[in-house]
């Protein structure tokens, strides 16, 4: 039954004409600030790199100055040395560890190793040995020579290790960038440190008053808050507070907001981080961060440790086809051990949030770990009204012209994030129109934009496509109006919205949690109404009914295989759902029925869909005039609401004002009674 709610509530899936694209928005200001800070860091890093390059160049230049080898000293061969010596051309000489550095009386031309002639005034060479005979020969040829002891060349040593220093510095820079640019040299060795953000008492608080809806969830969590405030009350009685609280719900229902509200109500330290923060490129970092996180919690107790998106690190072990002990499993094992390591006297509560409880490891969900699961479901009418009241406090709204109760009734199945988006879109539309406040028209337009998609006025349809779309949507609307127990039509449009060329949106009057077989069969007939109208009027089929057929087939198969609504197969379920490959389960769906049963399932699905098709055709044939009237109204006005659809069904014309809005029938004013004085005067006369 739960799947039928998705087909009913989501108006964009109700009666789509065609799929043409996607629409997504995401532009938080915090990301811009982060990008700016990152840009600044890179500028600073560039300046630092430039300084380092200058230092290296200066070091090389100084080394050339301080080394014994000058640029004018040319290395010569031993034969050239003998020629210079015998010709008495060598004036001065310096001997350093059998290295001969000489100076000539005049410039001489020699051939270097490459065979190129070169002028030489100062030269050097390595002597084979230096003994008394060699020195006597120097004295004979009047050479002024001296002996020097070779000193330690610190500059050379520095130049040798300089590349390694540069590589080490560059590695440190990269590690700091990967660690989020943490300050100081300590960040190099902080891989195993937790990246949890600590919410203290001086930060803005979130309380339960800021969380609307989810009444049952708040009642469950008030016990946790009371334990953190008054733990001795429970300890005296020997009661044990749940060590772990798992918030389960669809995305956008307010799980993270509830966790912050608990921290604000209890007024304790709040450690917040995501499951992805445990994942790192180095082995063992995730497990180390888990241990460090719980160590910080023990130092700051009483406290709350909140892990968002727990499924990122808590997936079922044994994942993948290769098995193995991968990094994520090590992190999960460390988390399991730390949760078991809690002492009974420790005022530490672990909270986590996930929208995929089915993929979590069973060891996490056992009593003693996450022994309390709090379901944060989609809000009801009262909850949606409360959420709208919370979010509308932040905008300038014309309270006299805005009916929040009507908006809440018209948004069934929406979660808190969707309602917040509607309020924000309404404020944006009002600002775009240069209004001083947000009124009801802005909310209605924002609701249609979120539920049906953005109007694509740039898409120009031909007259043929426009007429086909009009009859397609008129078919949906007519079958919906003539089907007993179906949800009333809220709005019909042939203006392209989102991915559809036309949309027929239905809204339920009351909240629905379960669906009968009659309702589902009516739903199937409504889905097939568009295709039946095209075939009836034009005797031709188009691709516009593709999405309707897809939805109808899915619903019919669920009726047979999951909901037991088939008279032939009876109350049985067939087939298991596909499991993800990373879970280490079946790669393909497990087929637990025979070929004969599979043929019967297919035949039943076809029968159910064809029955819905024939039902829609019969409704349209019996009300062919109403179908033409609805199509003409759509071609004329392009968009009609539920009141106008009812008027057409009753044979009444659509009357609109000059601005295109529907004119509501005037309310009859009560007759005023004449004053008592006049009545008395009349009686006297």
Which sequence positions are flagged as catalytic?
Answer: 473
Which spans in 251-343 are helix H? 255-266, 285-299, 327-340
- Torsion, Cα of 594, 595, 601, 602 (10° steps): 160
DSSP-based three-state secondary structure for 145: strand
DSSP-based three-state secondary structure for 374: strand
DSSP state for residue 395 in the 8-state scheme = S
Interacting residues of 420 by C-beta distance below 8 A, sequence separation 6+: 387, 391
Cα-Cα-Cα-Cα dihedral sign, residues 32, 391, 491, 11: positive
DSSP-based three-state secondary structure for 51: helix
> Cβ(316)–Cβ(362) under 8 Å?
yes
Among residues 71, 86, 222, the alpha carbon closest in space to that of 141 is found at: 86
CA pair distance 539, 518, nearest whole angstrom: 29
- Provide the β-strand partners of residue 110: 118
Query: What phi and psi values does residue 492 have, to the nearest 5 degrees?
Result: -130, 135
Cα-Cα-Cα-Cα dihedral sign, residues 178, 180, 182, 187: negative
Tell me the two tokens of residue 372.
Answer: 């309390």
Which is it for strands 73-75 and 372-375: parallel, antiparallel or unpaired?
A: unpaired
DSSP state for residue 310 in the 8-state scheme = G
Q: HSE, CB side, 13 Å, CA atoms: give it for residue 260.
A: 17
Say how many C-beta atoms besides its own lie within 10 A of residue 90's C-beta.
Answer: 22
> Cβ(229)–Cβ(266) under 8 Å?
yes
- How far does Cα 205 stand from its chain's mean position? 24
CA pair distance 630, 481, nearest whole angstrom: 11
> Cβ(452)–Cβ(498) under 8 Å?
yes
> Cβ(304)–Cβ(270) under 8 Å?
yes
CA pair distance 504, 470, nearest whole angstrom: 11
Tell me the two tokens of residue 667.
Answer: 């309310």
Strands in 244-248's sheet, in edge-to-edge order, are 197-199, 269-274, 303-308, 348-354, 244-248, 372-375
CA pair distance 362, 318, nearest whole angstrom: 12
Cα-Cα-Cα-Cα dihedral sign, residues 284, 289, 292, 297: negative
- Provide the β-strand partners of residue 455: 497
């Amino acid at each position: 039954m739960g799947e039928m709610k998705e087909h009913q509530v989501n108006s964009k899936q109700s009666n789509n004409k065609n799929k043409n694209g996607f629409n997504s928005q995401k532009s938080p200001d915090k990301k811009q600030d982060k990008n700016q800070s990152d840009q600044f860091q890179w500028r600073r890093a560039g300046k630092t790199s430039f300084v380092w390059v200058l230092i290296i160049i200066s070091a090389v230049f100084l080394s050339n100055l301080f080394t014994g080898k000058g640029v004018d000293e040319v290395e010569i061969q031993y034969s050239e040395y003998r020629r210079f010596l015998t010709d008495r051309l060598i004036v001065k000489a310096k001997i350093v560890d059998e290295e001969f550095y000489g100076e000539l009386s005049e410039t001489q031309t020699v051939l270097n190793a490459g065979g190129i002639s070169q002028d030489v005034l100062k030269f050097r060479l390595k002597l084979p040995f230096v003994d008394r005979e060699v020195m006597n020969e120097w004295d004979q040829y009047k050479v002024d020579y001296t002996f020097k002891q070779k000193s330690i060349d610190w500059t050379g040593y520095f130049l040798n290790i300089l590349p390694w220093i540069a590589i080490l510095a560059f590695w440190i820079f990269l590690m700091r960038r990967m660690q989020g640019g943490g300050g100081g040299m300590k960040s190099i060795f902080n891989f195993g440190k937790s990246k949890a953000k600590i919410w203290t008492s001086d930060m803005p608080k979130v309380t339960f008053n800021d969380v609307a809806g989810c009444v049952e969830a708040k009642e469950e969590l008030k016990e946790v808050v009371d334990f953190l405030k008054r733990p001795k009350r429970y300890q005296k009685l020997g009661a044990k507070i749940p060590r772990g609280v798992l918030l389960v719900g669809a995305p956008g229902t307010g799980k993270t907001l509830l966790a912050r509200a608990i921290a604000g109500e209890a007024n304790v330290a709040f450690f917040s981080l995501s499951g992805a923060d445990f994942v790192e490129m180095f082995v063992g970092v995730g497990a180390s961060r888990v241990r460090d996180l719980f160590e910080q919690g023990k130092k700051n107790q009483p406290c709350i440790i909140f892990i968002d998106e727990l499924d990122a690190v808590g997936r079922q072990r044994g994942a993948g086809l290769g098995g193995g002990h991968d990094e994520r499993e090590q992190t999960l094992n460390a988390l399991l051990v730390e949760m078991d390591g809690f002492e009974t006297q420790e005022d530490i509560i672990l909270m986590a949030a996930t929208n995929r409880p089915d993929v979590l490891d069973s060891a996490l969900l056992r009593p003693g770990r996450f022994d309390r699961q709090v379901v944060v479901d989609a809000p009801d009418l009262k909850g949606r009204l409360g959420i709208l009241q919370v979010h509308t406090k932040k905008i300038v709204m014309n309270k006299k012209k805005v009916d929040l109760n009507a908006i809440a009734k018209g948004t069934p199945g929406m979660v808190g994030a969707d309602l917040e988006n509607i309020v924000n879109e309404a404020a944006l539309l009002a600002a775009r129109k240069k209004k001083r406040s947000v009124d009801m028209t802005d909310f209605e337009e924002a609701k249609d934009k979120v539920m049906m998609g953005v109007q694509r006025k740039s898409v120009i349809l031909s007259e043929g496509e426009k007429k086909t779309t009009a009859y397609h949507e008129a078919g949906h609307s007519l079958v919906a109006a003539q089907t007993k127990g179906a949800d009333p039509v809220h709005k019909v449009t042939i203006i392209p919205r989102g991915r559809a060329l036309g949309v027929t949106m239905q809204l339920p009057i009351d909240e629905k949690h379960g669906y009968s077989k009659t309702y589902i069969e009516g739903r199937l007939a409504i889905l097939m109404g568009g295709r039946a109208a095209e075939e009836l009027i034009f005797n031709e089929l188009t691709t516009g009914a593709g999405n309707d057929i897809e939805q109808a087939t899915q619903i019919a198969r669920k009726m047979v295989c999951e909901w037991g609504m088939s008279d032939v197969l009876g109350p049985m379920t067939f087939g298991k759902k596909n499991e993800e490959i990373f879970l280490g389960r079946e790669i393909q769906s497990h087929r637990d029925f025979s070929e004969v049963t599979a043929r019967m399932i297919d035949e039943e699905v076809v029968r159910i869909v064809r029955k819905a098709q024939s039902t829609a055709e019969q409704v349209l044939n019996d009300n062919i005039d109403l179908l033409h009237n609805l199509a003409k109204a759509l071609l004329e006005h392009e968009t009609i609401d539920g009141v106008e659809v009812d008027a057409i069904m009753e044979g009444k014309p659509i009357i609109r004002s000059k601005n295109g809005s529907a004119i509501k029938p005037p309310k009859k004013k009560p007759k005023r009674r004449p004053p008592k004085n006049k009545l008395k005067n009349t009686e006297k006369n």
